[in-house]
Amino acid sequence: MKDFLIHRAESWAWRAVMPALILGGNVAGFTLFVIAILRTAAWWQNHREVSWKWGRGSFWWISYFGLQLIGGLWSSDLDAWRLSLEVKSSLWFLPVLLAMPGRRVARDFWWSLGWSVTAYLCWRMLRAGWHQVVLNSNLEWRYARFSGDVHPTYMSLHLAAAFLGLGSQWGQKMKAPFLWGVTLLFAVSLGMLGSKAGILAALLVAALRLSMMWPVWRGMTWGKLSDSLPKGGVRWSAFVVLVLMTSWAMAGNRFAELSSASAVMTDAQAPVKSSSAGRVMVWQTSLEIIGSHPFGVGTGDVVPELMRRYDRDGLTYASERRLNPHNQWLQAGVAFGWPGIAVLTVALLAGLLQAWRTVSGGLLLCVVLVMLHAGVESVLEVQRGVVFIMWMLMVQWPVAGKT
């Protein structure tokens, strides 16, 4: 009876992770602490004699955390270094915790992700409708107002991953009308969130998913990747069409900002008037730092070094917002130089390779989602990013020596 209670308690603790992430990083940290106690207790009682099962490729993520650790040796801001270690502890914590013999948590991950994102988006829809009808305000339907406390790009990442598992990993017993209802909710919400990166990443992943269904790939690895993903080419096609329509109607002006980014790329004196142009400027500054510091400036000195150069070059848009590199590869490069870029790249490529070898379409498309978002956000620098990404990848990662 005691073992059963610990087993069920751990299951529901894992399922609480996604709601905790939506609520905030501190809540997520406390939830993971509870999980660690429950999983360790279950291991000590029932699995002490069983060998640990390390996920293939988890070594690279632990190595990336190792860079965060030793990066304090040449950091001036030790408080920022310590905070960074706390925020990014999931890089080692989740691989170690899931290597521990015990409950398999993949089903808990998909259950938590799918239903949490669905409930949250329904609530945001109802809230926006309330403001529209009662307060006569339409501001809550778009971008940051609609996403609430969760950054639109991160919510778009969560949404796209949840849609990947809809109908196979979670919601298997959902009747067709409800399945289509969730598809509509996700597609419309993606346009309302207005994250350019999130919209483009979801569309690309959906296109890759649809291409796996083509008869020409039948019997080949690309076609077999489809087996681990939900079926329904019509629903996937409808998702793409709905995202395009909603994005055009609700976020068209945000895509128009891309012209300001191209202007900054061709003219150093062009004014920075949008997030897209701001990203280009911080990317250029980050590349300059990497060129000057091939082994980085240290874990804690990334933002201070960027701020110094923002002020030097008069980049008020970036300095007022204390922008980080907004690209995970550049973030690694500024902090640890080329070794950091290399370890991060190998960690992600290992995921693609393992997905191909084990014919796991879900893992492959999840890694692609992470890579696409990492190109425009430093996704491993905040709890909502690093906890979610490591959890999502580790529960799907094949165990060393097994498929």
Distance between CA atoms of residues 200 and 191, nearest Å: 11
Task: Break the chain into its structural domains and give their ranges.
Answer: 1-50, 56-103+261-403, 106-256
pLDDT, one tens digit per residue, over 275-292 is 777 788 899 999 999 999
Distance between CA atoms of residues 326 and 25, nearest Å: 19
User: CA dihedral in degrees (144, 15, 99, 362; nearest 10)?
Assistant: -60
| Other beta carbons less than 10 A from residue 27's beta carbon | 16
User: CA dihedral in degrees (111, 328, 375, 190; nearest 10)?
Assistant: 30
Residue with tokens 């919400």: 189
For residue 55, the 8-state DSSP code is B
Residue with tokens 């991060």: 344
User: Tell me, what's the pLDDT at 403?
Assistant: 41
Question: HSE on the CB side for 137, CA within 13 Å?
Answer: 10
Please give the structure tokens belonging to residue 218.
């039948």
Please give the structure tokens belonging to residue 90.
């999931």
Query: Which amino acid is present at 309?
Result: R
**Rg from Cα positions in the chain:** 22
For residue 284, the 8-state DSSP code is H
Q: How far apart are the first and last CA of the chain?
A: 32
Q: Among candidates 314, 313, 315, 312, which has minimal Cα distance to 323?
A: 315
Q: Among candidates 250, 248, 238, 102, which has minimal Cα distance to 166?
A: 238
User: Tell me, what's the pLDDT at 94?
Assistant: 95
| Other beta carbons less than 10 A from residue 252's beta carbon | 11
Residue with tokens 């379409």: 361
**pTM for the whole thing?**
0.93
Q: What is the DSSP string of 146-191?
A: HHTTS-HHHHHHHHHHHHHHBTTTB-TT--HHHHHHHHHHHHHHHH
Query: Which amino acid is present at 224?
Result: K
Distance between CA atoms of residues 374 and 354, nearest Å: 20
- The H-or-E segment that residue 140 falls in is none
Q: Please, what are the averages of pLDDT over each run of 10 residues along the chain (403 residues)? A: 79 95 88 94 88 89 95 89 92 94 92 97 96 91 90 95 93 91 96 93 96 89 88 92 92 70 56 70 93 92 92 86 92 95 96 93 96 95 93 88 46
Distance between CA atoms of residues 40 and 101, nearest Å: 9
Q: What is the DSSP string of 341-397?
A: HHHHHHHHHHHHHHHHHTT-HHHHHHHHHHHHHHTTS-TTSSHHHHHHHHHHHHTTS
User: Tell me, what's the pLDDT at 381?
Assistant: 92
